[in-house]
Chains A and B, each alone.
Chain A
Amino acid sequence: MLRRKTIMRTALALTTGAILFAPGQLLSMEAEDAPETVTIDSLASLYEPVEFNHLMHVDYASCAECHHHTTGVKVADPNCIRCHANTPEGDDVTCVGCHEADRFGKKYLAELDNPVLYHIDKPGLKGAYHLNCIGCHQIIDGPTGCTDCHAMTEAGEKRFNTGEYAPKGGAVSESHH
Chain B
Amino acid sequence: MKKLNRRSFIKGGLATTAAAMVVKEKTSAASGDFDNYPEGMGVIVDLTRCVGCRSCEAACNKEQDLPEPAVPFDDFSVFDHMHHGEKRRTDETAYTVVNRYDTPEIDHPLFRKIQCNHCNEPACLTSCFVNAYTKTPEGAVIYNAKVCVGCRTCMVACPFYIPTFKYSSAFTPRIMKCIFCYDTRLKNGQPPACVEACPQEALTFGRRKDVLKIGKQRIRETPGKYVDHIYGEHEVGGTAWMYLSSVPFDKVGFDTHVPKEPIINSVKEFLAMVPMVLTIWPGLFVGFHLLATRKDKVKEMEKEAELKKAKENDEKEEQV
B residues contacting the other copy or chain, number (CB 8 A): 40
- Which of A104, A127, A131 neighbours the largest number of chain B CB atoms within 10 Å of its CB? A104
Q: Is A20 an interface residue (CB 8 A)?
A: no
Q: Is A54 an interface residue (CB 8 A)?
A: no
List residues 125-160 of chain A with CB under 8 A from any CB of chain B.
Answer: 126-127, 129-131, 134, 138, 144, 146-147, 152, 159-160
Which single member of B51, B72, B195, B213 contacts A144 (CB below 8 Å)? B51
Complex CA–CA separation, A137 to B279 (angstroms): 63
> Size range of the interface on A?
35 or more
By a CB distance below 8 angstroms, the chain B residues around A152 are 74
**Chain A residues engaging chain B, CB cutoff 8 angstroms:** 79, 103-106, 109, 112, 120-121, 123-124, 126-127, 129-131, 134, 138, 144, 146-147, 152, 159-162, 166-167, 170-177
- At the interface with chain A, which of B24-32, B169-177, B214-222, B250-258? B214-222
Q: Check A175 against B210 for contact (C-beta < 8 Å).
A: no
Complex CA–CA separation, A147 to B58 (angstroms): 16
By a CB distance below 8 angstroms, the chain B residues around A103 are 201
By a CB distance below 8 angstroms, the chain B residues around A172 are 71-72, 75
Q: Check B73 against A161 for contact (C-beta < 8 Å).
A: yes
By a CB distance below 8 angstroms, the chain B residues around A166 are 72
Q: Closest 7 interchain pairs by CB?
A: A127-B201, A173-B75, A104-B191, A162-B72, A160-B73, A130-B199, A106-B189
- CB contact under 8 A between A175 and B200, given known A121-B217, A159-B62, A161-B68: no
Contact with A along B212-236 (1 / 0, CB 8 A): 0110011001100000000000000
